[in-house]
């Protein structure tokens, strides 16, 4: 997953800053744990240096630099925005970026205690983000499809988890997935998506969501891929308030989102398992977050009528959305 031939050290980062951005070279540099495509360093109090360490990382950074300045001004939570660009050089052969620092602690290492506030914050953020995307918005090659096209990956994740790795009834997990597969597709124009909302990509301060980071996966598509965050991020019981405030998810979208939340939960569990084994790319803190999310997926009680029993009410019917999300 990473290029082992490039060792990224504080000395290297300082040398690059001195060469290309000397006015910032005197700021303190502190490595930030985590990261997958990029290795991150906290620069001073308000900046971050992101150093790509996979082949795909430079393209992801270029995408962020192109689109975050467009999206960030209308988003109600802080997000990282580009400040400077580092050019490839003899010291480091890839482009790199200096971004604004989003303060807080990643959710995979802490918890939310202000449930309603966090639900409101997440719903407000996604309402602002999920607007129709322009034709030139990026697409995604590995996510964004209807759940029915992801069943092979779902099955592989489920089979890869060690026996006893999840407490849930495997049949119950499959039932959630099968329901998502049976849900109608998204037929409206594609909207802007973060694309990779999970506990390591949001930060928490004072018990609530205070920022969203890592937009490298952003693309235009089905909002269900982001709405899975209702189960992945929020404490039990907060999903009902989230969907009521979000107010633009119909029955089919919520069903797809719930299935995708199960898929992403399994991925988090698997990465946690790999981290416990010391395998490359493993993230020990993701396992507990994934298991908690999967438990929320399985214990939510949506209880809506099927399309064959009753037509879907208008999107403006707030009572309908409240009923759809009851029990989340």
Predicted confidence (pLDDT) per residue in 183-199, tens digit: 999 999 999 999 999 99
Residue 317 has pLDDT above 70, yes or no: no
Taking each helix axis from N to C terminus, what angle separates 251-276 and 170-182, rounded to the nearest 10 degrees? 140
| Residue 5 CB neighbour total at 10 angstroms | 6
Residue length of the chain: 328
Residue 98 has pLDDT above 90, yes or no: yes
Residue pair 42/99 in contact by the 8 Å Cβ criterion: no
Beta bridge partners of 50: 40, 97
Gap between the Cα atoms of 16 and 139, Å rounded:
32
Residue 305 has pLDDT above 70, yes or no: no
pLDDT above 70: percentage of residues in the chain: 88
Residue 150 has pLDDT above 50, yes or no: yes
Q: Residue range 107-136: average pLDDT?
A: 97
Q: Where are the beta strands (DSSP E) in the chain?
A: 29-32, 38-43, 47-52, 82-86, 96-100, 105-106, 191-193, 202-205, 208-212, 219-221
Gap between the Cα atoms of 58 and 95, Å rounded:
6
Q: Quick one: pLDDT band at residue 301, thresholds 50, 70, 90?
A: low
The whole-number pLDDT of residue 167 equals 67
Residue 103 has pLDDT above 70, yes or no: yes
* Three-class secondary structure of residue 210 per DSSP: strand
* Three-class secondary structure of residue 38 per DSSP: strand
Q: Which two tokens stand for residue 199?
A: 């506990």
What are the b/e assignments for 72-105, b being 16+ CB within 10 Å? beebebbbbbbbeebeeeeebebbbbbbebbebe
Q: Quick one: pLDDT band at residue 313, thresholds 50, 70, 90?
A: very low
Contacts of 113-118 with CB under 8 Å at 24 or more apart are: 113/207, 113/208, 114/206, 114/207, 114/208, 115/234, 115/235, 115/237, 115/238, 115/241, 116/238, 116/241, 117/207, 117/208, 118/207, 118/208, 118/209, 118/233, 118/234, 118/235, 118/238
Least confident of 26-30, 156-160, 176-180: 156-160
Q: Which two tokens stand for residue 227?
A: 């709405």
Q: What is the pTM of this model?
A: 0.88
Residue 130 has pLDDT above 50, yes or no: yes
Residue 306 has pLDDT above 60, yes or no: no
The whole-number pLDDT of residue 16 equals 97
Q: Residue range 106-128: average pLDDT?
A: 97
pLDDT above 90: percentage of residues in the chain: 77
Beta bridge partners of 42: 30, 48
* Three-class secondary structure of residue 295 per DSSP: helix
Question: Average pLDDT, whole number, for the chain?
Answer: 88
The whole-number pLDDT of residue 5 equals 57
Structural element, H or E, at residue 177:
helix 170-182
Q: Number of C-alpha atoms within 13 angstroms, CB side, residue 312?
A: 14
Q: Quick one: pLDDT band at residue 220, thresholds 50, 70, 90?
A: very high
Residue 230 has pLDDT above 50, yes or no: yes
User: Which one is predicted more confidently, 308 or 84?
Assistant: 84
The whole-number pLDDT of residue 319 equals 41
The whole-number pLDDT of residue 325 equals 40
The whole-number pLDDT of residue 281 equals 79
Gap between the Cα atoms of 136 and 213, Å rounded:
22
């Amino acid at each position: 997953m990473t290029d082992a031939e490039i060792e990224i050290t504080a000395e290297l980062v300082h040398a690059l800053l001195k060469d290309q951005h000397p006015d910032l070279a005197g700021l303190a540099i502190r490595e930030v744990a985590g990261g997958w495509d990029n290795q991150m360093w906290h620069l001073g109090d308000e900046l971050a240096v992101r150093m790509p360490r996979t082949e795909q990382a430079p393209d992801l950074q270029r995408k962020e630099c192109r689109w975050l300045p467009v999206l960030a001004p209308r988003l109600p939570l802080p997000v990282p925005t580009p400040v400077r660009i580092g050019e490839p050089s003899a010291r480091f052969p890839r482009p790199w970026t200096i971004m604004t620092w989003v303060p807080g602690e990643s959710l995979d290492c802490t918890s939310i205690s202000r449930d309603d506030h966090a639900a409101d914050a997440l719903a407000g953020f996604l309402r602002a983000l999920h607007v129709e995307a322009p034709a030139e918005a990026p697409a995604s090659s590995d996510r964004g499809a209807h759940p029915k096209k992801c069943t092979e990956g779902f099955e592989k994740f489920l089979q890869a988890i060690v026996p006893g790795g999840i407490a849930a009834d495997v049949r119950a997990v499959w039932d959630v997935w099968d329901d998502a597969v049976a849900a109608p597709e998204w037929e409206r124009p594609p909207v802007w998506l973060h694309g990779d909302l999970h506990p390591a990509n949001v930060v928490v301060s004072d018990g609530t969501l205070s920022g969203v980071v890592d937009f490298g996966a952003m693309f235009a598509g089905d909002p269900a891929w982001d709405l899975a965050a209702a189960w992945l991020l929020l404490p039990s019981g907060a999903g009902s308030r989230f969907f009521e405030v979000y107010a633009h998810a119909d029955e089919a979208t919520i069903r797809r989102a719930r299935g995708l939340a199960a898929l992403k939960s399994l991925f988090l569990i698997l990465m946690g398992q790999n981290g416990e084994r010391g395998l490359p790319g493993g993230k020990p803190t993701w396992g507990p977050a994934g298991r908690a999310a999967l438990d929320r997926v399985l214990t939510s009680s949506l209880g809506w009528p099927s399309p064959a029993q009753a037509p879907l009410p208008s999107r403006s019917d707030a009572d309908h959305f409240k009923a759809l999300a009851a029990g989340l």
